[in-house]
């Protein structure tokens, strides 16, 4: 399982926004197909669950977006931790080449 996750992480590092848009469109189409195939009596619980997941993930994405673009949201400790993470990330790419 760890090998599979490593492969997926490497793939995502190589993707650009077009690849990610294709993946998300594919997953969305799969979700629509699943939703259409559900019996009528099970559609309401599925709609409630998907609505909860949508709201939760949208809120998390909104928080991450605000943290990235809001100049007053971050602290110096967070910026230092982020710069250390970036250094490790750059070193990892250099090592793999």
pLDDT, tens digit, for every residue of 8-29? 888 888 888 888 889 899 999 9
Report the pLDDT value the prediction gives residue 92, as an integer from 0 to 100.
Answer: 53
Percentages of the chain per state (helix, strand, coil), in multiples of 5: 90, 0, 10
Residues 66 and 33 in one domain: no
| The total number of structural domains that make up the chain | 2
Q: How confident is the model at residue 75 (pLDDT cuts 50, 70, 90)?
A: low
Residue 25 shares a structural domain with residue 69: no
Flag whether pLDDT at 63 surpasses 90. Answer: no
Left (φ > 0), alpha (ψ -120 to 50) or beta: where does 75 sit? Answer: beta
Confidence of residue 61 (pLDDT cuts 50, 70, 90): confident
Q: Between these two residues, 83 and 27, which has the higher pLDDT value?
A: 27
The pair of three-digit structure tokens given for residue 11, joined into one six-digit string:
């793939």
Do 87 and 47 lie in a common domain? yes
Query: Which residues form the domain of 7?
Result: 1-37
């Amino acid at each position: 399982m760890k090998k599979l996750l490593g492969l997926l992480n490497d793939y995502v590092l190589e993707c650009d926004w077009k690849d990610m848009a294709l993946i998300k469109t594919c997953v969305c189409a799969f979700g629509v197909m699943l939703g259409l195939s559900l019996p009528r009596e099970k559609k309401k619980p599925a709609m409630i669950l998907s609505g909860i997941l949508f709201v939760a993930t949208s809120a998390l994405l909104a928080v991450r977006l605000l943290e990235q673009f809001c100049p007053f949201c971050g602290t110096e400790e967070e910026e230092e931790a982020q710069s250390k993470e970036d250094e490790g990330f750059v070193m990892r790419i250099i090592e793999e080449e």
